Amino acid sequence: MSNTDQSKIRNFCIVAHIDHGKSTLADRIIEKTGLLTSREMQAQVLDNMDLERERGITIKSQAVRTIYKAKNGEEYIFNLIDTPGHVDFNYEVSRSLAACDGAILVVDAAQGIEAQTLANVYLALDHDLDVFPVINKIDLPSAEPERVIEEIEDVIGIEAQGCPLISAKNGIGIDEVLEAIVEKIPAPKGDSEAPLKALIFDSLYDSYKGVIVFMRLMEGTIKKGTKVLMMATKATAEVVEVGYFGAGQFIPCEELSAGMVGYFTASIKNVRDTAVGDTVTDADNPCKEALPGYKKVQSMVYCGVYPADGAKYPDLRDALEKLQLNDASLNYEPETSIALGFGFRCGFLGLLHLEIVQERLEREYNLDLVTTAPGVIYKVHKTDGTVIDLTNPSNLPDPSEIDFMEEPVVSAEIMLTTEYIGSIMELCQERRGRYLGMEYMEETRALLKYELPLNEIIYDFFDALKSRSHGYASFDYDLKGYEQSELVKLDILVNHEEVDALSFIVHKDTAYERGRKMCEKLKEEIPRHLFEVPIQAAVGGKIIARETVKAYRKDVLAKCYGGDITRKKKLLEKQKEGKKRMRQVGNVEIPQEAFMSVLKLDEGK
Amino acid sequence: MNNHKEGVREIAVYIHLPFCVRKCLYCDFISGCYSEEIQNSYVNKLLQEIDWFFAERKKKKSENIRISTIFFGGGTPSILPTNEINRILCKLKDNCELSSNAEISIEVNPGTVKLSDAGEENKFESYRRMGINRISIGMQSASDDELKTLGRIHTAEEFDETYRMAMKAGFDVINVDVMYALPGQNYASFEKSLRKVAALDPKPKHISAYSLIVEEGTPFYDTDFHALGKDLPDEDEERRMYEGAADILAEYGYEQYEISNYSLPGYECKHNCAYWTGKEYVGFGIAAASLIDDMRFTNTKSMEEYLNAPDYESLLTLQTDVEQLSETDLMSEFVILGLRMNRGVKDSEFFERFQLHLWEAYGGIIETHVGNGLLYRAEDGSISLTGEGRNLSNYVMKDFL
C-alpha cells in the first residue's frame, strides 16, 4: 500500500444535524462502493453499539475504507470517518475533523439548517476542510430543496447550487455524491519520507490486541516494529500491527504512509495512553513539533453512582474499570454516602455521556444503579486563597471558609422558528441566561444567542426546549469559561435528617423554587410510614420549603378466607419486595427512584 | 401432620355456589347469573367432584376423615332450590363422617329465600330440616340509598323480613354482614346501620363488618371508580368507622375476634377460624381453594372448564395456584393468619405444631413491631396485634413472610 498515489485518496467525514441522515448516507456510500452487499448490510453499519442503533446517534468515532471506481475509470480509496453527533463529544468531533481533508454537509430538505448543522459546519470550516452540501430526503412531501439551497448559501455562505439532491434512505442520487467526493474533496498531502506524524482520532480497547489506535497519517510511514511515541502522554510502544478499516473489521497491511487513515496496535493496555488528539511519532526519529489542537479531556458533569444492592459494589468497580479501558473521558473515584453507602463519583463529558455510561453499566454489566443528581464542577475560592474544584456538593466547605464561588458558563446558540422566540427566551431567562443577541436566518427562522450557566442546562434543558418549541428549536453550546456566581448548597432533610445524596448546588435566586419542587416531588416518592415524615429543603440551615408525608393510617385486608390466602400472600410479597428497593435513612425508607427525582423537576410543565 | 387427633383427620369443607340474581357492583368473587339448567348441571358436577375427591383419598391412603364444618358460600347459595343443597349435604355424608357438633353454614341474601320448592313457607324451614345450623345474611346496610349504590337487589325492610323468617324457622345462630366505607356514607349513617343490627331482637350471634374495597375488574372499579372516588369516605373517616364499630358493638356485648368479625362470646365462626388457625380445608366447586397435606390449590375459575371436565384427573390439571407449602411457609402462614384474630398466635400452639418457639423463629421481627407499638407480646411469648397493629396489619405481616 505504500506506493498508493496520494491523489487517489479521499479522507472525509459527513456533518449534519441529528436525524438529517448522516449515518444512512454513510451506509449508502459503503454499500454502493461494494464493500458490503445490501444483504450484508445491517442498518447503519457504523453505529455498531446497540445503544447507538437504538438512539440513532453516533457515540464513538468510526472509520471505514472503501474503494470507489470513478466515472473517469480510476480507483479511489475513500476513508470515511464518522464523527459523534452530540455536543458532549465536541472535542472528539474536532479531532475527527482534523483527520479529514473535506466534509459532506447533509441538510434535510424539509427541515433546512438547524443549530447543529451550523455548529458542525463551522467546526469543519475552522479545520480548513472543503465542505460540499448534499440535500437529503428530497422525496419527502414536505421537501423544499430550493429553499434549503438558498438557506445554505445565505446562512453558511458556501456554494450549493447544483449540489446533489438525494434520498439516502431510498438510494436516490448516491452516484452523484460519490463523484462529488472525488471532485470536491481534496487529496491529502504530506511527505511519506518525513518523520512520522499522525493524529489519534479515537482508540478502542480490545482484550486480545490491547488498544487499537485510530489515526490519520500526516507525514511519514508506520509499520510493524516502529517504536512509537505519543507526544502528549509520553507513552511509548512498539507497533505490532498496522492496518485499515474494513466494514466492522480491521484489515492488517504492511505499512501506512502519509495521507492514509488506519490503525496500529502495540500491546498498549490503557486508552489513557493514547489520548484523542495526541500526535504519534517515531521515538527514534521524532518530528519537530506535535500537531496542534490537543486538549486533555475534562469531565464537565459529575454524579454519584451507587449499586442498588450494596453487595454489588465490587461488581460496579470492575465494570467501571472495564468501561474506562475504552472510554478515556470517563473518570471515577470512590466515595461514600450516608444514604447510599459505597459508590463512585463519576465524571462525564455531558449528560448524554452520563446516560450512556449508566445504560451500559446496567445493560452490559447487569447492574442496578442509583445515581444522584448530576452537577458541574464549581470552583470554590476559599478565604485562605486556595481554590478547590467541587464535584460533590457534600464536600462544600463551611460558608465561613468560602470567599466566593464560580460556575461554568456556556455560550449557546438556539435555532428556532420565530413563533417560539418568546417562549424560548422566557425559558433561557428562567435558566439564568444572559441574552447576547439574535439573528434572523430568514423570515421565519432565527438564531438566538445566550450565555447560560452549565448547571442550568445539564438536566432537562433539552426536554424543556423541545416541549416549549413543539420540537422546532435546536440547540448547541460551547464551554465559555468560569464566572463568579452566588451559589448555595440546597440540602434536603427527611424526617429532620439531612440526606447527603440529595444535596445539590443552586443559584441563590432559584434555591427556593427548586427546594419547593424537590419537596413536592419527594412527597410523591416517599411512601407513608408509621409516623409523619416531614420533608424539608434548607439552605445554610434555614428551612425554605416543607412538605409532609402523612402517617400510615390503614394497611389492612378486610377479608381473608380460604380462597383469599394465595392472593394475600402475593400482595404481601410485593409489598416486601418494594421495601427491598428502599434506602434506609435514619428511620425513613426512601425509594431509589427518589434520588433521581431531582432530574424531573420540570416535568408536567 | 396436623389435625390428626385420635387418628381422625378433621377438615373444613367449603362449597362454592357461584349463582346470583344480579352481580353486585363491588363484587369480585367468581359468580354470575346462570340459567337453571346450568345451575343443575353445576350441582351434578359438584356431587361428582365430591365423589372423585374421596375416592382418590381412599385410593392413596387409609384414613378417617371427619368433617368439622361446612360452609355454603357464593354467590348467593340461597338462589338454589333447597333440595339441591340437600343433595350436596347428603353426598358429603355418604362419603365421610360428619362431626356430631359440626357447624353447617349457608349464606343467604334477602329476596331469595321466600320461594320454597318444597312447599314450605320459606327456604329456612328446609335448611333447618337438612341440618344446617348457621345462617349468614348479607344485609350490608340499613340505608336503601346505600344498598342501591352497591347494586344490591334488596331493601332494608326485606332484610328485616328475612331475619324474622330465619328466627322463626328456629335458627339460633345468625350472622349479619354489614359494610362500611361506602360511597356517600358517613360515620353517622354507618353507626345507624350497625346499631340497627346489634339492636335486633333477638340479637344476631355474629356480625361481620367489612370495609368496601374497590377491586380491579368490578364495575365499581371499571366504570364508576373515579366518580365514586369523590364520594368515598376519606381514610381518616374510614378508620373512624372501623374503630367505632368495635366500640359500638362492645356496648351490645359483641367481642371483636378477627379483623372484620365480631360475635357474642362462644359464637365465633368455627369454619372461618379453621382458615386462620392453619387447619385443613377442602373446597368444592369452581374457584374453591383447598389446603390439605400441606398443599394449597384452587379449582378452575371457568364454569365451562369445570362442567366439561370428564374426570378427576382433568379437574386436577385445571387447578391453579398449586403450592406445596414448606415448613417455613407453614410457619409464616400460621403467624400471618393467626394474627388476624384478636387472640393472636399462642406460643404454646406454635410450639406444638413446629417444635419452635415464636421468638426462636421470628425474634427480630417481633422485637421491631413490639417497638413500633403494632404488636403485643404476652409474658408467655404469645403475640397479637395491637389496635393500631390491626389498622396496619399488612405492614406487620409482610415481615413474617
ipTM for the complex shown: 0.89
**Alpha-carbon dihedral angle through residues A294, A296, A300, A303, given to the nearest 10 degrees:** 150
Min mean pLDDT across A169-178, A479-488, B216-225 is at B216-225
Q: For residue B173, what pLDDT band results from cuts at 50, 70 and 90? A: very high
Is residue A596 scored above 80 in pLDDT? no
**Distance from A590 to chain B by nearest Cα, in Å?**
16
Interface test with A, best of B392, B396, B399, B401 (most A CBs within 10 A): B392
Q: Domain spanning B4-276 has what CATH number?
A: 3.20.20.70
What part of A 493-532 touches B (C-beta under 8 Å)?
Answer: 530
Closest CA to B95 of B54, B123, B63: B54
Give me the residue from A552, A558, A579 closest to B259, CB to CB.
A558
The pLDDT score that the predictor gives to residue A604 is 43
Residues of B with CB under 8 A from a CB of A: 12, 14, 210-211, 213, 235-236, 238-239, 242, 259-260, 272, 275-276, 281, 283, 287-291, 296, 298, 321, 323, 333, 336-337, 340, 372, 374, 390-395, 397-399, 401
Chain A residue with minimum CA distance to B298: A563
B370/B394 Cα distance (integer angstroms): 15
Q: Is 70 exceeded by the pLDDT of residue A220? A: yes
DSSP codes, B306-367:
HHH--SHHHHHHT-EEEEEPPHHHHHHHHHHHHTTBTT-B-HHHHHHHHSS-HHHHHHHHHH
A555 touches B: beta carbon within 8 Å: yes
Residue B291: closest CA among chain A residues belongs to which residue?
A562
Contacts of A531 in chain B (CB under 8 A): none
- B392 and A559: CB-CB below 8 Å? no
CA angle A528, A530, A531 (to 5 degrees): 90
Is residue A575 within 8 angstroms of chain B, CB to CB? Answer: yes
Is residue A605 pLDDT above 60, yes or no? Answer: no
**Any CB–CB contact under 8 A between A566 and chain B?**
yes
3-class SS of residue A30 = helix
Residues in chain A, overall count: 605
- Nearest Cβ partner for B401 among A559, A566, A576: A576
Burial environment of residue A448 by CB neighbours within 10 A (0 to 12, 13 to 18, 19 or more): buried
Shortest Cα–Cα distance, B373 to chain A (Å):
10
Residue B222, all three cell numbers: 371499571
Rounded to the nearest angstrom, the gap between the alpha carbon of residue A464 and the centroid of all alpha carbons in its chain is 18
For the record, the C-alpha cell of A490 comes out as 440546597
pLDDT of residue B259: 95
Helix axes B358-372, B327-338, angle to 10 degrees: 40
Amino acid at A107: V
CB contact under 8 A, B275 and A571: no
Range of A35-39, A300-304, A325-329 with top mean pLDDT: A300-304
Check: CB of residue A280 under 8 Å from CB of residue A215: yes
Question: DSSP letter at A231?
Answer: T
Mean pLDDT computed over A26-51: 61
Cβ within 8 Å, pair A566-B372: no
- Over residues A314-335, mean pLDDT: 88
Domain(s) labelled CATH 3.20.20.70 in chain B stretch across 4-276
Q: Dump pLDDT digits (tens) for B106-141.
A: 999 998 887 655 566 789 999 999 999 999 999 999
Phi and psi dihedrals of A464, rounded to 5? -65, -40
Tell me whether A71 touches chain B (CB under 8 Å).
no
Supply B181's cell numbers.
366505607
Interface test with A, best of B237, B391, B394 (most A CBs within 10 A): B394
B contacts of A575 (beta carbons < 8 Å): 394-395, 398
Chosen from A550, A553, A554, A577 to mutate, greatest number of chain B CBs within 10 A: A554
Which chain A residues touch B242 with a CB distance below 8 Å?
Answer: 554
Helix/strand/coil for A398: coil
B392 and A572: CB-CB below 8 Å? no
Place of cell 431509589: A592
**Amino acid at position A47, single letter:** D
Q: By C-alpha distance, which of A92, A66, A68 is closest to A79?
A: A66
Contacts of A581 in chain B (CB under 8 A): none
Which chain A residue shows the shortest CA-CA distance from B259?
A558
Q: Rounded to the nearest 5°, which phi and psi values hold at B181? A: 65, 40
pLDDT tens-digit map of B371-381: 999 999 999 99
With CB atoms and an 8 Å threshold, state whether B391 touches A553: yes
Check B398 against A576: CB less than 8 A apart.
Answer: yes
Residue A577 contacts B, CB cutoff 8 Å? no
- CB-count burial class (<10 Å; 0-12, 13-18, 19+) for B187: middle
B155/B177 Cα distance (integer angstroms): 14
Report the alpha-carbon distance of residue B317 to residue B299 in Å, rounded.
9
* pLDDT score, position B341: 97
- pTM, two decimals, is 0.69
- Provide the shortest C-alpha distance from residue B308 to chain A (in Å): 22
Of B276, B281, B394, the CB nearest to A556: B394
Once rounded to an integer, what is the mean pLDDT over residues A541-567? Answer: 90
| B6: number of Cβ within 10 Å | 6
Distance CA B249, CA B207 (A): 9
d(CA A255, CA A276): 22
A368 against B337, higher pLDDT: B337
Q: Is the pLDDT of residue A38 over 60?
A: no
Residues β-bridged to residue A538: A491, A543
| Of A556, A559, A565, Cβ closest to residue B393 | A556
Nearest by CB to A559, from B210, B235, B283: name it: B210
Average pLDDT estimate for B242-260: 96
Long-range contacts made by residues A19-22, C-beta under 8 angstroms, separation at least 24? A19/A56, A19/A108, A20/A106, A20/A107, A20/A108, A20/A111, A20/A114, A20/A117, A20/A136, A20/A137, A21/A106, A21/A108, A21/A136, A21/A137, A21/A168, A21/A169, A22/A58, A22/A82, A22/A85, A22/A106
Question: Containing H/E element for A14?
Answer: strand A9-16
Instruction: Give the percent of chain B with pLDDT over 70.
Output: 95
Whether B236 and A530 lie within 8 Å, measured CB to CB: no
Cβ contacts below 8 Å, chain A against chain B, sum to 93
